[in-house]
Amino acid sequence: MVDNTTIMQAGRCIECGAKETDGLSCYELFGFPLVWEHHDPELYALHFWLVSCYMIQHPSTYTEEGYNHLVNLFTDAYDNNWDTAYILKKNRELVRNMDKITNPLPSEERTRKLRLWSITIEDIYAGGEEHAIENIQKWRDCIRNELSNK
């Protein structure tokens, strides 16, 4: 997993706006559904969506080119209803010609800009494992909608 240590100020992520919950940063909250998906193959089938939703909300993790690639892959996969195998194949093809995908700067030196999203990892965590599938699907839908309106 990419090292994306988030910066929380006044109990909120300075990048996605998620509230600190149970003393956990949004990056720490992200670890919970990653563990939950190991208990449920249907949830694991949404792994691409879980990770890409979180990462889209944390653009400082990527170079500009890498972030644009992620958003384009997400959008194309969503709009064309691609299955996971095809998404991964397409990703491998597209990243072959990219120089740098992830931000080479240490986390504390990255430029971050707050963008408030209607759903964040905070909502996935709060819904718990039993609602993770439906909540990740809602998150995916909201992200796609919000990307269209940016």
User: What is the per-residue pLDDT across 25-70, written as a single tens digit (0 to 9) for each?
Assistant: 999 999 999 999 999 999 999 999 999 999 999 999 999 999 999 9
User: What is the per-residue pLDDT across 105-118, written as a single tens digit (0 to 9) for each?
Assistant: 988 889 999 999 99
pLDDT of 8 over the 70 cut: yes
pLDDT of 130 over the 60 cut: yes
pTM: 0.93
Q: What average pLDDT does range 11-20 have in this prediction?
A: 94
pLDDT of 102 over the 70 cut: yes
Closest CA to 66 of 109, 40, 33, 104: 104
Calpha distance 27→15 (Å, rounded): 11
State the pLDDT at residue 25: 93
State the pLDDT at residue 150: 64
Calpha distance 94→61 (Å, rounded): 18
Report helix, strand or coil for 63: coil
Are 43 and 133 within 8 A, CB to CB?
Answer: yes
Mean pLDDT, the chain, as a whole number? Answer: 92
Counting Cβ atoms within 10 Å, is residue 64 exposed (0-12), middle (13-18) or buried (19+)?
exposed
Q: Where are the beta strands (DSSP E) in 19-125?
A: none
